[in-house]
Structure 1
Amino acid sequence: MKVGMVFGDGVSGKGAKEVLKKMKYEIIMVDDKTGMSSDSAEELLDKTNVFIKSPGIPYTHLVNKAFEMNVEVIDEIELAYRYMKSSGIKTKIVAVTGSNGKTTVTSKITELLQRAGFKCEHAGNIGNSFGELICSRNDLDYIVLELSSYQLENLKTFKADIAMVINLSPDHLSRYKSKEEYFDAKFNIGKNQTEEDIFIYNLNDKDSLKRLSRITGNKQGVTVNTGKEKAVCFTDGESVIYKGEKVLNVKELSLKGKHNLENVLFIVAAAENIGIDKEIVKEFLYTTKPLEHRMERFYKWKNVLFVNDSKGTNIDSTCFAIDAYKGAVLICGGKEKGLPLDELVEKIRENIEEVYLIGEMTERFKEALLLGGYPNRRIYAAGDMKNAVKMLREKLSGDEEKTILLSPSTSSFDQFPNFETRGKVFKELVKEYFEEGEEL
C-alpha cells in the first residue's frame, strides 16, 4: 500500500487526509501541536510515497528532508486535482488569485454561477478545502478555487479551465526572499494550460505583464485604465464593455469603488467565457451585496460611521480603503510581515485624521509614521482592538461627522486566528461600547 504523509492538521491537512483515504493510501498525520512530531515523522520518510505540505507551514527541516530524499512534495490542491482526474470527475475549475480582491471575485463568481443554474461551490483559501469538497461532491459543474501563493507553490499537474490573476502587490515577504518570488508563485495558477483554457489578467498591472510569456493558455486582458485597445473587457468610466458590447452601467453596480470595478471586470470576463446570459449577469451585479469584512459599513452611532475592513490584510488593500474613506480615523496594525510602509504612510499623512495602532507592528508603524511627517499627537498606540475601541468611545462625542475605519494592512495572526475573527471582534466591541447606535 502506498503511504502519504500529511504535514499540518488544519483545514487543508484534513482535506488531504480525506483524499488519501479515497485513493487507498496509508496515512501518516504529522502536526507538532496535535499529532506526530516532525522528529518522529522524519524516521518514516523512507517509506513515504508522497508528502503533502499544508500551505501555512514554512519549509521546515522535515519538508527540506523530504526534498533531499526525493520524496514527492505537493500541496493538497495538487493532490485533490489528481484524485478528481483519476476518478473521472468532470467538474470544471475556475482558479482565482491576486494580492487583493480574490475573495470577492471567488465568492461572486460562485454566486453568479449558482444564480445561472449551475451546480457550483467555492473552496481553497475560502471555506472548504478543495480535497474535502471534491470528495463529498462529485456532481458539481464548477468549483471556484481561491488560491493563495502558498497553495500555488508545489503544483505539478494541476490545470484550471479558467485561471485569473487579479493584481500583484508585495505581500508575505517574511516567507519569500523577494516580491518577485512571491509574484512568480502567484503565476503558477496558469501552469499546464492549453489554448482551450482561459487565462484572465490585468492589463494595468505591470508585474503581471512581465510574466505573461510563461502562460500557455488563451490570454485575455481586462483593464480599468491603460491598454483598453488590447482588452476583452474594460470600462470607459460609464459602462463595462466586453468585446465591444456594452454589458453594464457602472453607476448601477452594487459593488462600489475602483477596486471593485476591477473585480467586476474579472467576473464579467469569466461569465462571458462560461456563457452566462448577459441579463443574468446584469441583474446579479446590480443587486449583489458586498462581502462581510471588506469595506463593510455595519454600524452608525450618532454622526459616527463604523467600517469593518478586516480583510484589508496588505498595504494596497488599506490604501484602497483610505481612498474610499478620506478623512477617516484609522485602526491599523497586526502581524509583522516585513512589508515596506512608505506608500501607506504617505496615504495616511494625506488622508487620515488619526491613527490607532494595534498588534505586533505598533512600534515600527509609529516610527514610520513619525519619519513620514505624520504628527505624534494624532498617533495612539492602543495595543489591542478592545483598547482601541475603548479609547475611541472615551474621546468621541458623536456631534461631528466621522468615519472609524478598521483596515489593518496586514494579517491577524499575532492576536486573532484569522481576519474573520478580527472583524467580528471589532463589530462586537463597537456595538458594546457604542450601544445606543444602530446596525446598517
Structure 2
Amino acid sequence: MKTLTNFPYSKVLVLGLAKSGEAAAQLLYDSGIDFRINDQLPLDENETAKRFTELGCDVITGEHPLTVLDDIDLVVKNPGIPYDNPIIQEASERKIPVITEVELSYLLVDGPLIAITGSNGKTTTTTLIYELLQAGGLDPLIAGNIGSVASEVLRKQQRGQPVVMELSSFQLKGTKTFKPNYAILLNLTEAHLDYHHSMDDYIGSKLKLFQNQTDSDVAILNRLDSLISEQHIPGDGERFYFSVSNDSENDIIVTEDDQIQYRGNNLMSKHEVGLPGDHNLENILASIAIAKSFHIPDELIIEKLRTFTGVKHRLQFVDRINDRLFYNDSKATNIQATSKAVRSFKQPVVLIAGGLDRGGEFDELFDSFTNVTNCVVYGESKDKLYEAGKRKGFNHITITDSLMEATKKAYELSEPGDILLLSPACASWDQFPSFEARGDMFIETVHKLK
C-alpha cells in the first residue's frame, strides 16, 4: 500500500474520525507523519480512537479544546464538520490550512482520475462509469462517497489504473491542489444551505472541482442546467458539453427522433436504455463521454446501458405486488430530486414523502404532480407537506407518522398499474440515521406486504 512521501507538513490535526478521519489517520500513521486526533465521541465509546491510542498516537476525545491546534501546521477535517466550528475558525485565525481527506489523498494519485459532482445523480453516474470502464477491461477503482474513502482506494491504485470518484460539496470545499483528469458537473440545485449558508458558497465549492485543470484535462458539463450555464467554470480543462435536447453545439445529445448521438454519430435509441427516467439520461450522457474518452467499443457501451438499471436507493425497483410496482428512491433528499423521480414515470404514481424538516417550503414539489394520484406524507415535515399541497390545490394527501405506516397506506390507496414511489424530498435524520437505512426499511415493509 502506498504512503505519503515528501510531505511538507510537520504535524497534522485529524479533526473528526468517522470513515474519512480514520482513513486519513491511518495514512499518516503508515507514512510516519506526526499527527493528533481530536474526536467528539468519548474514548470509552470510540473504538477507532482506542485503536490509535493503543498504537501510541496523540488522541484527544470527548471535547474540542482550542489547544488541539497547538504545534499543528495542517488540519484534515471530517467533511461534515462545518466551517463555523470553533476549531476551524481558530485554525483560520492562526493561518493553519484546513483540508479534507480527499485533498490529502490526492498526493497518492498515480493514474487517470475521474471525479463526479452535482446536486443529484452523482452515485448513479459514478457507478455507471465504473461499470463501463470495467466492461472495457480497464480494471477501474471506485471511491469517494461510494464504498471506500479516497485515501484507502488511492493507496491501492496501480500506475495508470483509472479511479472513479464521487465528490460532495463538503469534500470539495476543503481542496486546494486536487485535480481530476476528467471532471463532471451534472447539475446544480439549492442544497445543503444549512452547511454552506449561501448558494454562492455551495456553488463555489462544487466549482473547485475544475480550478486546477490544465488544457490536457476535460471538464464535462450539462449545457441545459440553468445554474451551470450562469457560472464561469474555472480552470483550463477542455470543455465537453452534453444535452438531452437536440442541440448541435453539444458534443453528446439526444436527437428529436430519440437517438443518443455522440459527436454526430448515432449510438443507440434512448428507449433501449435500461435506467428509467429522463433525468437519468443526463447521467448516461456524461457516462458515455467518459467511456468514449477511454476508447471503449460502442457494442460494450450499448450492452451495459441496456442492462444497467441503477443503484440501490436511487429509483431502485423493489417488487411487484398485485400489479403495483414499488420503487425505492430514498436518496431523493431534496425537492428537485423528487420532482425528477415523479416525472420519470408515465403511469399513475402514489408518492411517499417526508422526513427531516430543514425549514423550506414544498409548494414547488406539487407543481410536478401531473401523474401523482395520491401523496402519503410522514415524519417531521408531514404537516408542511400537507399545507403546501393544499395551497397548490392538491387534495389527495394523507398524513401518517412513520414510513412503515405510510407505505401500507400508499398500498391501500393504490390501484393496479400504479407506481408506488418512495421519494421523500427530505433528509432522513428525523427517524433514520441515513437515507440507506430509510430505504432498507421501505424495502423490508414492501416485502412484508407481499
Give TM-score, length-normalised by structure 2: 0.89
The structure 1 residue matched to 2:355, chosen from 330, 334, 339, is 334
Equivalent position of 1:7 in the other structure: 15
Does 2:164 match 1:144?
Answer: yes
Query: In structure 1, how many angstroms separate the alpha carbons of the residues matched to 2:160 and 2:232?
Result: 30
Deviation at 1:374, TM superposition (A): 2.1
SS in 2 for 1:231: coil
Equivalent position of 1:409 in the other structure: 425
Letter aligned with residue 58 of structure 1: P
Query: In structure 2, how many angstroms separate the alpha carbons of the residues matched to 1:24 and 1:139?
Result: 23
Q: Is the 8 A contact 2:352 2:375 kept in 1?
A: yes
Query: In structure 2, how many angstroms separate the alpha carbons of the residues matched to 1:384 and 1:105?
Result: 31
Q: Is the 8 A contact 2:172 2:208 kept in 1?
A: yes
Deviation at 1:80, TM superposition (A): 0.4
Deviation digits for residues 216-273 of structure 1 (CA, Å, limit 9, x no counterpart): 21111110126x2221111104211111112222221112321121111101111122
Does 2:131 match 1:107?
Answer: no
SS in 2 for 1:118: coil
Equivalent position of 1:385 in the other structure: 403
Deviation digits for residues 26-45 of structure 1 (CA, Å, limit 9, x no counterpart): 23222212453474542120
The structure 1 residue matched to 2:68, chosen from 35, 44, 68, is 44
The structure 2 residue matched to 1:230, chosen from 223, 240, 249, is 249
Q: Is the 8 A contact 1:51 1:74 kept in 2?
A: yes
Q: Is the 8 A contact 1:50 1:73 kept in 2?
A: yes
Does 2:203 match 1:187?
Answer: no
Does 2:435 match 1:419?
Answer: yes
What are the ranges of 5 or more consecutive residues in structure 1 without an aligned counterpart?
A: 436-440
Deviation digits for residues 118-158 of structure 1 (CA, Å, limit 9, x no counterpart): 12111111111001112244456111110011111021100
The structure 1 residue matched to 2:33, chosen from 15, 25, 33, is 25
Cα distance 1:338–1:123, how it changes in 2: closer, same or farther (>3 A)?
Answer: farther
Cα distance 1:340–1:165, how it changes in 2: closer, same or farther (>3 A)?
Answer: farther
Does 2:321 match 1:296?
Answer: no
Equivalent position of 1:438 in the other structure: none
Query: In structure 2, how many angstroms separate the alpha carbons of the residues matched to 1:23 and 1:50?
Result: 16
Q: How does 1:265-276 map to 2 (within 5 A)?
A: 265-276=285-296
Q: Is the 8 A contact 1:303 1:401 kept in 2?
A: yes
Deviation at 1:421, TM superposition (A): 1.6
Q: Is the 8 A contact 1:171 1:339 kept in 2?
A: no
Query: In structure 1, how many angstroms separate the alpha carbons of the residues matched to 2:380 and 2:158?
Result: 43
Deviation at 1:328, TM superposition (A): 1.4
SS in 2 for 1:164: strand
Letter aligned with residue 402 of structure 2: D
Q: How many residues align?
A: 423
Q: Is the 8 A contact 1:4 1:49 kept in 2?
A: yes
Query: In structure 2, how many angstroms separate the alpha carbons of the residues matched to 1:213 and 1:419?
Result: 31
SS in 1 for 2:98: strand
What percent of counterpart residues are identical?
Answer: 33
Letter aligned with residue 26 of structure 2: E
Deviation at 1:19, TM superposition (A): 2.2
The structure 2 residue matched to 1:64, chosen from 82, 89, 98, is 89
Query: In structure 1, how many angstroms separate the alpha carbons of the residues matched to 2:274 and 2:409?
Result: 34
Cα distance 1:403–1:282, how it changes in 2: closer, same or farther (>3 A)?
Answer: closer
Cα distance 1:18–1:135, how it changes in 2: closer, same or farther (>3 A)?
Answer: farther
Does 2:114 match 1:94?
Answer: yes
Give TM-score, length-normalised by structure 1: 0.91
Query: In structure 1, how many angstroms separate the alpha carbons of the residues matched to 2:387 and 2:39?
Result: 38
